Amino acid sequence: MHVMGILNVTPDSFSDGGRHAAADAALAHAKSMIAEDADIIDIGAESTRPGAAAVDAAEEWSRLEPVLAPVIALGVPVSIDTYKADIARRACVLGAAIVNDVWGLQKDPGMADVVAAAGVPVVMMHNRVEADASIDILADMDRFFERSMQLADQAGIARERQILDPGFGFGKTMDQNYLVLNRLDHLARHGLPILAGASRKRMIGAVLDVPTDERLFGSLAVHLLAAERGAVILRVHDVKAHVEALAIQAAMRRERAALVPAEAGR
């Protein structure tokens, strides 16, 4: 299990917009998450929250450039959270180790080739322009991921470098978000690792009726359930809390595994 710590260098992200926009604040936060045992740092410079203003590539890079190389130099793998091929290319040249595309290679036609040329893994997230309560969301995800995987295969991205993200909070109704969580093991049919990222999202606030900065406990609950259903990477704001919760879960799994041979011998 891997914990991916979120580093938003944006003025308008839904949870921590503006807190780490300055290069020194971003670097300090990255160091803090690494000290808390983050396995990956995911850096994004454009908010993808509903209603956020679009950012052109020049502005996105101007936010990233002062931060990216210093964070990469810390020695922990860095993921670049972008759907723009040119941003991904520049980040990979500097040493980004993963591309995290919220449109699953389907927004920018050049993205798959950039990832293939860089030889890095790619997170392909399910997304929709808008939610539709009438659709079968699992079937929609299957079709989306089959297209993303096809694009990745055609570009020459090895299957072992492809990762799926169900996209909690993106183009889904509240009920669909929880249906996807409850059926997350459905995605195992695609044979790829799964990343889950529901940290502090509205699907948690809607159930608990708490503001964004009071959604840690709900985030932990959702992510532990996701891990039980097959997620192997958790994208989170609160690294230490998740690392500790996952350690308890791992201890439970070890105990459970130890029972299997004992019970088989009865």
Active site residue 107: no
Could you read off the pLDDT of 216-235 as tens digits, one per residue? 999 999 999 999 999 999 99
With a cut of 90, say whether residue 256 has pLDDT above it.
no
For residue 23, the model assigns a pLDDT of 87
Instruction: Give the number of other Cβ atoms within 10 Å of residue 189's Cβ.
Output: 9
User: Mean pLDDT, to the nearest integer, of 87-116?
Assistant: 98
CA-wise closest residue to 106 among 137, 56, 147:
147
Active site residue 235: yes
For residue 15, the model assigns a pLDDT of 54
For residue 142, the model assigns a pLDDT of 98
With a cut of 80, say whether residue 237 has pLDDT above it.
yes
CA distance 164 to 188: 10
For residue 231, the model assigns a pLDDT of 98
The reported pTM is: 0.92
Q: Is 61 helix (H, G, I), strand (E, B) or coil?
A: helix
Q: What pLDDT band is residue 44 in, cutting at 50, 70 and 90? A: very high
User: Mean pLDDT, to the nearest integer, of 184-207?
Assistant: 97
Q: What does the DSSP 8-state code read for residue 159?
A: G
User: Mean pLDDT, to the nearest integer, of 249-258?
Assistant: 88
By the 8 A CB rule, do 101 and 122 touch? yes
With a cut of 70, say whether residue 20 has pLDDT above it.
no
Q: What pLDDT band is residue 54 in, cutting at 50, 70 and 90? A: confident
For residue 260, the model assigns a pLDDT of 63
User: Mean pLDDT, to the nearest integer, of 35-54?
Assistant: 87
The residue from 200, 201, 215, 229 that is catalytic is 201
CA-wise closest residue to 220 among 241, 195, 194:
241
Of 41-50, 61-70, 212-221, the poorest mean pLDDT is in 41-50
* Residue ranges of domains in the chain: 2-264
More confident residue, 48 or 151: 151
CA distance 36 to 17: 21
The HSE-up count of residue 150 (CA atoms within 13 Å, CB side) is 8
Cα→Cα distances 91→37, 117, 227, Å: 23, 13, 29
For residue 72, the model assigns a pLDDT of 98
What is the chain's mean pLDDT, rounded? 93
Query: What topology does CATH give the domain 2-264?
Result: TIM Barrel (3.20.20)
